[in-house]
Structure 1
Amino acid sequence: MTDKAESVFNKSPPPRADDVLFGPNPEDWRLNACIEHWGEVDYAYKAGFRRAAFQLTERMCERPIDQDSIVYPIVYLYRHHVELMLKDIFRLASDLCEVQISGSQKDHLGRHDLAKLWSLIRPLLDPVCKIAGSSSLPVADLDGIDAYMSQLNDHDPRGESFRYARSRDATRTLGTDLVHINIRSFAIQMEKLADYLAGLENWLRILVDGRNEVLLG
């Protein structure tokens, strides 16, 4: 028999029906995360995935232990951040260009193909620059993003390869050609991508807000 505070498997207390998973703890108020009162809830999701990935990477770089397992959430978190950013960027660019989002495009917004999402955005960028009265974005920058999306899609086309070890037919979700990922190098490149997308999104949001102010004024 075990003590009441221990489960039958280990020293950790077992789950109880009166345990509360969601809600505040007044005795531990510093860790009470505010969910309802975000002024921009989309930002909280996007920022949260990126920050979690960065903090995990920092921990790995300081103390490289368990990197063979921690690599999966790091890659997934960064990838999901990029996916959320691309979807918002496409919506903003479409709004600014006054382009109605088609049914097929809405379908892609509900999927996880990063290369396809980026391919919806890139044709809108020159029209956006014309609206803003600025020169086109550097081709080398856009080609760089093309390359990043292609690499991410090569190994994780549906956003599942770093979430699940196996697909429904029990085969490995990652191909055998991928043997190593350097966590530091991966994070450095993904932070570059995240910074660029953040700048693009902020610029688009400023343009949309400016247009709306003129229309309302």
Structure 2
Amino acid sequence: MGNKPQKSPHLFKVFASEDRESLIVRYPYQRDSDVEFGYVEAAKRLAASFRGQPIDDAILMPFMYLWRHAVELSLKQQIKYAAKLRRANGEQDASLDPEKLRGWLNRTHSLRDIATELAGHFAHLDLPEMPNDTRRTLSWLIEADPKGQTFRYPGGLPDTQDFIDFHGLRKCLEETYNMVSAGIDVLWAYGEAQEDFLAEQREFEAEMRADFEAEMRAEYGEEMGS
């Protein structure tokens, strides 16, 4: 973060908008979920341009990359939140340290490693696994692009020619993303329950402490204040 530029890119400043019709906004302080939503929206808009023409073949790799990266960002967002919940539960494992976790997530793009990490967090929190159909499709995506490079550059796939049902593929990827991203809702529900539990625990401890102090004052009188 120390090398983060302090000024907007010159390219953006050159094309400063002068009317609402041409306006597009880049917001500061974006989170994983914000960028994740951008990839999903871009994938949907790209799919909407499909007309079943030869030129549409050119959108396949960018289309795959958009959905693949949206899945990756969703998994990473969930890992960060799950680790936070585990820390709130009192766990002190070194792997839960926010800085160490952030560094690891920034370095890795392996869907297998990321998905395995998240599954471990869900297991520690005693939360349900992903549905079998979702895990199956995720395994196909991992096989096709294990390290996040296959759809970004040429040469990552076999020298074969594939004839693909685009609408079937689009539906499968979108449904898989929807099920993967639903994990954050499960974690939010857990977090809300955890907050209620911790609030009740703090209230109980405060009452116990107040009762104890009252008993001590009753027994020892003013000596407690000296």
Q: TM-score, normalised by structure 1?
A: 0.70
- The separation in 1 between residues aligned to 2:139 and 2:182, in whole angstroms, is 21
**Given the superposition, is the C-alpha separation of residues 115 and 52 from structure 1 closer, same or farther in structure 2, using an over 3 Å criterion?**
same
* Aligned with residue 35 of structure 2, among 45, 55, 66: 45
Count residues with an aligned counterpart: 181
Shift of 1:188: 0.5
* Aligned with residue 211 of structure 1, among 194, 199, 203: 194
Structure 1 counterpart of 2:149:
160
**Larger C-alpha radius of gyration, 1 or 2?**
2
Structure 2 counterpart of 1:145:
134
Q: How does 1:47-126 map to 2 (within 5 A)?
A: 47-60=37-50, 62=51, 64-98=53-87, 99=91, 100=93, 102=95, 106-107=103-104, 110-126=107-123
Q: Which runs of 5 or more residues in structure 2 are unaligned? A: 1-9, 204-226
Shift of 1:65: 4.7
Q: Which runs of 5 or more residues in structure 1 are unaligned? A: 1-19, 130-135, 166-171
More helix by share: 2
Letter in 2 for 1:128: L
**Which whole-Å deviations, capped at 9, do the CAs of 1:111-150 have from their partners, x for residues lacking one?**
1111221111113224434xxxxxx5367x0x33332222
**Which whole-Å deviations, capped at 9, do the CAs of 1:145-184 have from their partners, x for residues lacking one?**
332222112221121111111xxxxxx2111356233321
**Which whole-Å deviations, capped at 9, do the CAs of 1:47-99 have from their partners, x for residues lacking one?**
01011111111210x45451221101100000000010111111112222235
Structure 2 counterpart of 1:14:
none
Structure 1 counterpart of 2:23:
32
CA contact under 8 A between 2:122 and 2:129: conserved in structure 1?
no
CA contact under 8 A between 1:76 and 1:163: conserved in structure 2?
yes
Q: Give the RMSD, CA atoms, in angstroms.
A: 2.9
**Given the superposition, is the C-alpha separation of residues 179 and 31 from structure 1 closer, same or farther in structure 2, using an over 3 Å criterion?**
same
**Given the superposition, is the C-alpha separation of residues 32 and 104 from structure 1 closer, same or farther in structure 2, using an over 3 Å criterion?**
closer
